[in-house]
């Protein structure tokens, strides 16, 4: 393609000069040796420009476009990686929230269980204390009854002693027994 462009430039440069020279009027370019030297100089100039300027320029343009494409693809890859990491972080955050919720629920359940256990323990302790108090009261009642019986027995012995000391008559004897029975009933 570059050869085609070079050839077209040479032809375009020669055509107007050839047309003017063939008319014979005031020639702009004479078709003599100087024209040939100019054409050779022009072709050499095009060759050197092509070799040392245009091809390196095209290579730099191509290198730059490759670098831009590479940068774009790296940017897209980085954007995709950032999106992937953001999604991964979102999932980790959701998992952390779910785990925190389950820990909270487990703690609430454990607290409720502990409360239930403490209430049951308190009820059992209260029942045990009530039973202990009831047993103590029953023991106190038995002890009081025993003491009462002992006192009644002592009273009866005392009454009998009084009866024996007094030589009792029948009426006095009945009165002492009646009084002892009445006293016995009062103490119960």
The string of pLDDT tens digits covering residues 88-133 is: 999 999 999 999 999 999 999 999 999 999 999 999 999 999 999 9
Inter-residue contact 12 to 49 (CB < 8 Å): no
Number of residues in the chain: 188
Q: What is the pLDDT of residue 84?
A: 94
Residue 60 above 90 pLDDT? yes
Q: Which residues does 29 contact at the CB level (< 8 Å), separation at least 6?
A: 16, 17, 18, 20, 21, 35, 38
Q: How far apart are CA 176 and CA 53, in angstroms?
A: 156
pTM over 0.75? The answer is no
pLDDT digits (tens, 9 = 90+) for 167-180: 656 777 678 778 88
Q: What is d(CA 153, CA 125) in angstroms, rounded to the nearest whole number?
A: 41
CA dihedral 143, 144, 147, 148 (to 10 degrees): -140
Q: Is the pLDDT of residue 186 over 90?
A: no
The rounded distance, in Å, linking the Cα atoms of 46 and 10 is 10
- Give the percent of the chain with pLDDT over 90: 49
Q: Which residues contact 152 (CB under 8 A, 6 or more apart)?
A: 184, 187
Of 20-24, 42-46, 89-93, 152-156, give the lowest mean pLDDT range.
20-24
């Amino acid at each position: 393609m570059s050869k085609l462009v070079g050839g077209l430039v040479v032809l375009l440069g020669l055509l107007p000069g050839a047309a003017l020279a063939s008319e014979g009027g005031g020639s702009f370019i004479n078709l003599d040796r100087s024209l040939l030297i100019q054409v050779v100089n022009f072709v050499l100039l095009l060759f050197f420009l092509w070799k040392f300027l245009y091809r390196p320029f095209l290579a730099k343009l191509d290198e730059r476009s490759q670098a831009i494409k590479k940068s774009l693809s790296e940017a897209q890859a980085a954007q995709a990686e950032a999106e992937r990491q953001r999604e991964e972080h979102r999932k980790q955050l959701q998992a952390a929230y779910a785990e925190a919720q389950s820990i909270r629920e487990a703690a609430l359940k454990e607290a409720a269980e502990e409360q239930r256990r403490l209430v049951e323990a308190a009820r059992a302790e209260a029942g045990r204390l009530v039973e202990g108090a009831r047993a103590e009261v029953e023991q106190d009642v038995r002890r009081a009854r025993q003491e009462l019986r002992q006192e009644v027995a002592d009273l009866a012995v005392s009454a009998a002693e009084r009866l024996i000391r007094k030589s009792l008559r029948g009426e006095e004897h009945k009165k002492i027994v009646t009084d002892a029975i009445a006293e016995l009933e009062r103490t119960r």
